[in-house]
Amino acid sequence: MRTTATMKTGIAFVLVIAAQVGQPLAAQDAYDPSPDNLAARAWFQDAKFGLFVHWGIYSVLGAGEWVMQVRGIPADVYEGVAAQFNPVRFDAAAWVSLVKDAGMSYITITAKHHDGFAMFDSAVTDWDIVDRTPYGRDVLAELAEECSRQGIKLFFYYSQLDWHHPDYFPRGQTGQRTGRPDDGDWQNYLHFMDAQLAELLTNYGEVGGIWFDGMWDRPDAEWALEHTYGMIHGLQPATLVGSNHHRDPFPGEDFQMFEKDLPGRNTAGFNEAAVSELPLETAETINRSWGFNLTDADYKSADELIRYLVRAAGADANFLLNVGPMPDGRIQPEFQERLRSVGDWMRTYGRSIRGTRGGPIFGPWGVSTTGNGTVFVHVLEWNGRALAIPSPGIVEEAQLLRDGSAVTVQEVEGGIVLTLPERPEGLVDEVVQLTLAR
């Protein structure tokens, strides 16, 4: 884990330099999102909470999704791992039910990660789950079908960086130790990538979005984003395009993501981009790993995850919470327990998250969210009885969301004072619902 973190910080550093040199990257020029796309953006912002799934053949090795890079495994040796991937306990219905139990509305799953391995049946390569594993089933197809049955939207993560494809050349910051020949046809690689994306947008029903990652590996390469983004929107206008490039959004992108940070913050060290007008999303892990990691037991508590969800909603961002399923296809119990606890919380407090937008007030005590004439004051860190906040408008009614009991509101100069009850032991978020005069 430590090696990976150090290495990624290195990548972030290179990225910053590249951004300063300022090679403009063409994207989808004069992009005018379709009405369907704008509706999908609103749906996305209402949804607020999704499951990120990092799953690939790397799970067999139990050391995260970067194992090929970290251990310097040559591409031909790594191919042997595919032959051992046999997730006989994969159950799409169980995954999607878990997502619903957690109070989530969408899934973003790795269709292809940096190892280049397609978790779907691709016709343009045999480096995929159907052709190379004893399991031989298209897990994305099964998941897509189950998602549509249970009313969950499905997004695909797609790595532009590829440690396996011979035409990913010249190589970038990573993938140097894979033993591939030192030549390759970049245009050919771009065609391959577009062909796989076309498969994903054609064979799996409605695709909620494409979550790109890995462009940072070759920041100055000609990625022909305008072509790829245009193709995606041509096939499915409502599909939301986003990219984890940690730069200001390019035309053709429909949402902006922040990895391991709330929008506008940069505790991770690589979130230098400004917060845009696009719908926002922040991704986070439950332990410290994205892909299944056998030795990572550093789990965040359910309360910490709830607080993260609330703070994301307060910052007007979706929360994409990750699991790395095991090589047998199951999601480990530690993740399931936590997801279900967050879901229990969502059953009481979901109204203050789903369908809301961030703001308008916040303070050291917490954040707020807004939806249809209501402001939800999320008191996360405050043990006192009297809470002074700026006035969000004319308050007609104030009550605790957890039991509907009335909260006294007093107008004072510069704001209002809420009189809260004694804070119950272990309460993670005291939500006060303020109904405003229209």
| Contacting positions for ligand JFZ (CB under 6 A) | 8, 11-12, 15, 54, 65-66, 213, 216, 244, 246, 259, 270, 283, 290
Measured from the CB atom, the residue of 110 and 356 that comes closer to ligand JFZ is: 110
Q: Cα–Cα distance between 46 and 370 in angstroms, integer?
A: 11
DSSP states along 98-145: HHHHTT--EEEEEEE-TT--BSS--SS-S-BHHHHSSS---HHHHHHH
**DSSP secondary structure code for residue 217 in this structure:** G
What minimum distance in Å lies between the beta carbon of 170 and ligand JFZ? 19
What minimum distance in Å lies between the beta carbon of 66 and ligand JFZ? 6
Measured from the CB atom, the residue of 28 and 244 that comes closer to ligand JFZ is: 244
Measured from the CB atom, the residue of 23 and 202 that comes closer to ligand JFZ is: 23
What minimum distance in Å lies between the beta carbon of 1 and ligand JFZ? 12
CA nearest neighbour of 315 among 269, 273, 258: 258
What minimum distance in Å lies between the beta carbon of 154 and ligand JFZ? 17
Helices 302-314 and 333-349 cross at an angle (nearest 10°) of 50
What minimum distance in Å lies between the beta carbon of 252 and ligand JFZ? 20
What minimum distance in Å lies between the beta carbon of 265 and ligand JFZ? 15
Contacts for 156 with CB less than 8 Å, ≥ 6 apart: 108, 109, 110, 111, 140, 200, 204, 207, 209, 210, 211
Which amino acid is residue 285, in one-letter code? T
Other Cβ atoms closer than 10 A to 25 = 16
**DSSP secondary structure code for residue 151 in this structure:** T
Measured from the CB atom, the residue of 73 and 420 that comes closer to ligand JFZ is: 73
3-state secondary structure 26-41: CCCCCCCCCHHHHHHH
Does the bond joining 390 to the residue before it have cis omega, within 30 degrees of 0?
no
**DSSP secondary structure code for residue 322 in this structure:** E
Measured from the CB atom, the residue of 299 and 382 that comes closer to ligand JFZ is: 299
Q: Cα–Cα distance between 274 and 270 in angstroms, integer?
A: 12
Angle at 210 between CA 216 and CA 291, to 5 degrees: 65
How far is CA 213 from each of CA 105, 189, 255, 382, rounded to the nearest angstrom?
22, 16, 13, 38
427's tokens: 């309460």
How far is CA 18 from each of CA 27, 99, 248, 269, rounded to the nearest angstrom?
17, 38, 13, 15
Measured from the CB atom, the residue of 159 and 368 that comes closer to ligand JFZ is: 159
Measured from the CB atom, the residue of 12 and 25 that comes closer to ligand JFZ is: 12
Measured from the CB atom, the residue of 270 and 376 that comes closer to ligand JFZ is: 270
How far is CA 189 from each of CA 163, 200, 222, 394, rounded to the nearest angstrom?
12, 17, 11, 58
What minimum distance in Å lies between the beta carbon of 8 and ligand JFZ? 4
Measured from the CB atom, the residue of 138 and 259 that comes closer to ligand JFZ is: 259
How far is CA 387 from each of CA 307, 358, 377, 436, rounded to the nearest angstrom?
19, 20, 11, 18
**DSSP secondary structure code for residue 228 in this structure:** H
What minimum distance in Å lies between the beta carbon of 290 and ligand JFZ? 4
Measured from the CB atom, the residue of 335 and 365 that comes closer to ligand JFZ is: 335
